[in-house]
Amino acid sequence: MIGYLRPDGRKGVRDTILVVYLVECAHFVAREIASAFAPQKVQVIGFPGCYPNDYAFAMMRALCTHPNVGAVALVSLGCEGFDRGELGSAIAASGRPTTTLTIQETGGTRRTIETGRRWIAATLESLQATPRVPLAWADLIIGTICGGSDGTSGITANPAIGRCFDTLVRDGTACIFTEAGELVGCEDFMASRSPDPAVADEVYRCLSKAATYDHAMGHGSFAPGNAEGGLTTQEEKSMGAYAKSGDSAIMGVLRPCERPARGGLFLVDDIPEGAPVFGYPNVNDNAKLAELIACGAQILLFSTGRGSVVGSAIAPVVKICANPDTFERLGDDMDINAGAILSGTATLDQVGAQIRDAIADICRGAETKSEALGHQEFILSYKTYGALGPSCLART
């Protein structure tokens, strides 16, 4: 496996240029700048809000300095509240080429697009000199979520991801999972897997916060599509989501933008603090994907039973399809047929090994189905978090 070496010592599996809009008013210009280039090389992300938010800034800083990112063009209207100067300085300090295009100063839409495209063309040339180095399993952070779950998800794709995670953890990989709202009811199982009581306490706090938040919003993670797909209860869905974590010890709880300091299994707390203010958190899967990427994940594992076609900017998304019928219908979007477990042609361990092999192939340059199709979904909204504190990581 081969990676792109960054000045901070981390290694990416892609060398992407980001075009980043800092307010919705700059979104069109950013999209037009990137449209002249291959989507695998130049991708668009952004924050639509016009007034500042610490979470959004931290997310942007983490994403713009992610190991899969080689260079960044910031696109500002000029009067939004986002601190473009501080973000630009953070990117430059990371050793990445960067530029800031301010539409009100550059001369409007056409001139900004032309200026941005010239910068990207020159930067693509310079990125050819990015050092390529051997990539070990311990250099990787792998994230996982599920979406469009059905009655097969918890017995095929999700536990197969868990088997894959267990082998990766043994080889020093950091594996991160999220969706606290879909894990409510599994607190005791998860807490029992932590070698440190402080981490167990943090697990309880995280899932209690998720249950409180869902109650305040008047609904949980169980969607009509889940029922139509054969899931019967919230408990069944929670156990299925829990299966993705495998059997390894849970070494810590992270907030979005916090990276695991070492290999092992970590829970990402995706629920904001306090009462609902900006709406239900992470209402779509791409918000969860973005947070896993902000925690450093270079590759994402996405299990689906009913079928999801989304990918993501920055990190390749591996689609693991739980249902053999769905795989037959949506095969152009699916990478791995975990439904073979139901068909009797593969075991959980065999599919887990296929997932691991797919990760290795991506680290050698292979594209996922969502990458080949050009998927770059991304969303970022407002949230509020406090400091997590030292109890988030196991001391043993």
Cβ contact 371:318 at 8 Å: no
| Range in 68-77, 93-102, 220-229, 250-259 with the lowest mean pLDDT | 220-229
Among candidates 315, 306, 298, which has minimal Cα distance to 370? 315
Global confidence as pTM: 0.91
Residue 276 three-state SS: coil
What structural domains and CATH numbers belong to the chain?
2-133 (3.40.50.2300), 137-385 (no CATH)
Residue 78 has a CB neighbour count (10 Å cut-off) of 15
The pLDDT tens digits for 68-117 are: 999 999 999 999 999 999 999 999 999 999 999 999 999 999 999 999 99
Token pair, residue 348, equals 């959980």
- Terminal Cα distance for the chain, rounded: 30
Angstrom distances, CA of residue 105 to CA of 76, 111, 127, 253: 10, 10, 28, 43
Task: Please give the residue that has the higher pLDDT: either 274 or 303.
Answer: 303
Q: What DSSP string runs through 54-73?
A: HHHHHHHHHHHT-TTEEEEE
CA–CA separation, 308 and 302 (whole Å): 9
Report whether pLDDT(256) > 60.
yes
Report whether pLDDT(280) > 70.
no
Cβ contact 388:205 at 8 Å: no
Q: What DSSP string runs through 182-247?
A: G-TT-HHHHHHT-SSHHHHHHHHHHHHHHHHHHHHHT--S--HHHHHTT---HHHHHHHHHHTTTT
What does the mean pLDDT of the chain come to? 89
Sequence-separated (6 or more) residues with CB below 8 Å from residue 220: 181, 184, 214, 234
The pLDDT tens digits for 308-353 are: 999 999 999 999 999 999 999 999 999 999 999 999 999 999 999 9
Q: What DSSP string runs through 109-176?
A: HHHHHHHHHHHHHHHHHHGGG--EEE--GGG-EEEEEE-S--TTTTTTHHHHHHHHHHHHHHTT-EEE
The pLDDT tens digits for 133-147 are: 999 999 999 999 988
Cβ contact 97:106 at 8 Å: no
Q: State the pLDDT at residue 396.
A: 47
Cβ contact 135:1 at 8 Å: yes
CA–CA separation, 138 and 68 (whole Å): 16
Among candidates 13, 257, 247, 256, which has minimal Cα distance to 137? 13
Q: State the pLDDT at residue 219.
A: 65
Q: State the pLDDT at residue 299.
A: 98
Q: What DSSP string runs through 280-315?
A: STT-SHHHHHHHHHHTT-SEEEEEESS------SSS
Residue with tokens 């952004």: 46
